[in-house]
Copies of this chain bind each other. A is one copy, B any other.
């Protein structure tokens, strides 16, 4: 059989593969660590590669591919669909730093903040000397489009004369909120893009939208570079307080990160005319360069509740410099603009049935209510659910163990790994599965103790070597118990991947915080039980509901009434980008939100301790 050589850049991994094999098969053979969620069925779009050389050696794009790869002539291909009939070199996009997937239609009537107007202007004459070019432009917009009282951004004014002449008095004005001209282009206008950005404590997601069609064109994600200063919001506050220029360092980092995404879009920055931002209140303050320290201690004061519109150039964000960046309202120090985004996307305030919405990031944001009123609470879950502070934890990227079953009889685990490659670590949904599986198999007890750890209550604990252990349940080099999920032969790292006692404690702390917060909110509303749970956030989309119920992360609820909403905060940012009515709605509804501050609630400690047990006491 004919063989071909495929090279995967930038790693330079290569392999020989049979004629007609797919690029995904070649990637697995070469160990190129290519990402695939759907297991090669052409539906997730995660295995995109860019063909650098040998385009003619590859199959024509399939129908499945065409949904993801954009224009006909793009070198982008889906590796799982693309078959190899000759030598080729492809580039694997950086999965851990920036990934993207294509086009999604959001169902909302389009009414963006920035609209474009074509106008013809009378050229100036000696009879007309009392009018400046600005006055001629503003009058034409009134006469031809009925827009009155328009102002001109200073930067647009600077280029005004040049643009009018280049366009031969035939120009396109981009008008913000019917009030201000924020861009002027000669003659035929280019496309109008908007970017909806969700600044997470750990991950930044951005949605590139076409303001003309309302389509989400691409999704980008990147690691928040501030993570270097600590995983959770408190550590960022601490860095801002204790480090000279800590605040401006972090503001610069998130600015550069967003500008990196903008660069990645490949668009002319000036064509991005609008941007919306959702994030928690600490990220909000840092993004705006506002001291977040007030949020860190009672009475937890934040700087501003209202939504803000700040010029892109003031924030150093490289979209059209005269454009405004709309930051959704941060109702309080705890209820951030990300909650405003979740509210917009899931609209609990228009539901007849009470719904519990849990957005699990580094912070757990909880919303509970219906059309009679919505309560919010926030709890510090820590980064365990995002795969951080877990010995072999990693983000949900290629090589992450995302599903775990442990056979209660044999105590043998079965694993599902993102990208169908060798395991590199465990992501958040994997660690929840693992803890649930360990509990079901009796390897840990309800206090979360691995069987190998002597119970704390006995006066004379047995020596560890006397405790029941298996090959997988063992002591590590430092005498601490751990459970082996994957032997080194199965991994990409050359070492065993284990779940440690500390990992289990981290999961218990995180789920207890979330459960206790939820319970307090339910009690405040006089509820014994919730009938509907929506899990928001990337983590919520991948979590195994049964495992989440088994470890006691969620209150009791029929699994069929638990659903995942994906990144609802980001979707809210998209909605606010595409429809300015949604901006008002966000302001109105966040102002009505009632907040329960769980950390200072007298009942919290008891709830929290009770919730440490598995599933809970």
Interface string of A125-152 (1 = CB under 8 A from B): 1101111111100000000000000001
Query: B288 and A129: CB pair below 8 A?
Result: no
Closest CB of chain B to A376's CB: distance in Å? 10
Closest CB of chain B to A91's CB: distance in Å? 38
A379 interface hit (Cβ, 8 Å): no
Q: Which of B133, B294, B299, B304 is the one whose CB lies under 8 Å from A304? A: B133
* Residue picked from A131, A154, A162, most chain B C-beta under 10 Å: A154
Binding site for B on A (CB under 8 A): 124-126, 128-135, 152, 154, 157-158, 160-162, 288-291, 293-294, 298-306, 308, 310-311, 314, 330-334, 591, 593, 595, 597, 600
Query: B162 and A132: CB pair below 8 A?
Result: no
A538–B62 Cα distance when bound, in Å, is: 79
Closest CB of chain B to A247's CB: distance in Å? 9
Residues in B with CB closer than 8 Å to A591 are 130
Query: B304 and A135: CB pair below 8 A?
Result: yes
Residues in B with CB closer than 8 Å to A154 are 288, 308, 310-311, 314
Given A154-B310, A310-B154, A597-B126, A133:B332 Cβ within 8 A: no
Query: A161 and B129: CB pair below 8 A?
Result: no
Query: A301 and B161: CB pair below 8 A?
Result: yes
Query: B597 and A129: CB pair below 8 A?
Result: yes
Query: A306 and B595: CB pair below 8 A?
Result: no
Residues in B with CB closer than 8 Å to A160 are 290, 303-304
Residues in B with CB closer than 8 Å to A294 are 133, 161
Residues in B with CB closer than 8 Å to A291 are 158, 161-162
Query: A305 and B600: CB pair below 8 A?
Result: no
Given A129-B597, A154-B314, A290-B157, A135:B305 Cβ within 8 A: yes
Residues in B with CB closer than 8 Å to A306 are 132, 134-135
Query: A158 and B299: CB pair below 8 A?
Result: no
A20–B152 Cα distance when bound, in Å, is: 64
Residues in B with CB closer than 8 Å to A305 are 130-132, 134-135
Known: A133-B303, A160-B290. 10 other contacts (CB 8 A): A124-B301, A126-B298, A130-B331, A132-B304, A133-B294, A135-B305, A154-B308, A157-B308, A158-B291, A161-B290
Closest CB of chain B to A6's CB: distance in Å? 48
A507–B304 Cα distance when bound, in Å, is: 63
Residues in B with CB closer than 8 Å to A152 are 304
Residues in B with CB closer than 8 Å to A157 are 288, 290, 303-304, 308
A330–B314 Cα distance when bound, in Å, is: 28
Residues in B with CB closer than 8 Å to A301 are 124, 129, 132-133, 161
* Residue picked from A125, A305, A331, A591, most chain B C-beta under 10 Å: A305
Query: B130 and A595: CB pair below 8 A?
Result: yes
Would you mind naming 19 contact pairs between A and B with Cβ atoms under 8 Å apart?
Answer: A124-B299, A126-B298, A126-B299, A129-B300, A130-B331, A130-B591, A132-B301, A132-B303, A132-B304, A132-B306, A132-B330, A133-B301, A133-B303, A134-B306, A157-B290, A158-B290, A160-B304, A161-B290, A161-B291
Closest CB of chain B to A29's CB: distance in Å? 53
* Residue picked from A293, A294, A304, most chain B C-beta under 10 Å: A304
Query: B162 and A129: CB pair below 8 A?
Result: no
Residues in B with CB closer than 8 Å to A125 are 299
Given A131-B305, A135-B305, A304-B133, A600:B126 Cβ within 8 A: yes
